[in-house]
Amino acid sequence: MALSVSHLVGGYSQIPVLKDISFDVQAGELVGLIGLNGAGKSTTINHIIGLLTPMKGSIALNDVTLANDPQAYKQQIAYIPETPILYEELTLKEHLEMTMLAYGLDQTATWQRANELLKIFRLDNKLDWFPANFSKGMKQKVMIVCAFITNAKLFIIDEPFLGLDPLAVHDLLNLIAEVKSHGAAVLMSTHVLDTAEKFCDRFVLLHAGEIQTQGTFEEIKANYPDSGDSLNDIYLSLTGVTRDE
């Protein structure tokens, strides 16, 4: 098991947003963390990456916890946030160099990998550009390249499909499949449920800070046979949301 979240209670104040949630992400698996806005997806991710401290429960990554060894824990994670976070004073090349230093990566081998990814996302002629020159979609692609040059054991990808063009979405999904084949675990938060249904191995359905259900699409569908034939229909049925709301 790569990531284990056990009985997590947490949030931003004394009133918990997350109410005793437990799930795992296995090596070589893509798990979709799905839910509407406000369901608790980002709060869950912020706990996993260490921006928030659990009120109760535990989070472990390959048996390492933040409390026991913060550096070993964080070096296993590559995180692509929903809103790109770049340093305005650093060029694209310098962002890549900083990532290599932070993860202790071999420069020669990693630049070979970086150049492949830069070509895929059509950034190979923009190494001297600053973030001010990039569109939001291009900034997202920079974050993707920085994440996928690492040897992370867990990739956390938050709402990746917003702002990416269809070709970039296709390329990202191919990258996810590639790192999965090498044994990495991937946790992807999204409310684009039709795409999630096609590509995720399992799902964790969050609503109002609680896990409504989890499992493969076929397992969830079998458990809720009257809720519809798509992940979208099942989610709306389980959360009591109607299409008119």
Enumerate domains of the chain plus CATH numbers. 1-76+154-170+187-245 (3.40.50.300), 88-152 (no CATH)
What are the pLDDT digits (tens) for 114-146?
999 999 999 999 999 999 999 999 999 999 999
95: phi then psi, degrees, rounded to nearest 5:
-65, -40
What are the pLDDT digits (tens) for 58-81?
999 999 998 899 999 999 999 999
How far, in Å, CA of 147 to CA of 99, rounded?
Answer: 8
Residue 163 is encoded by which pair of tokens? Answer: 């702002």
30: phi then psi, degrees, rounded to nearest 5:
-110, 115
pTM, to two decimals: 0.93
What are the pLDDT digits (tens) for 10-32?
998 888 999 999 999 999 999 99
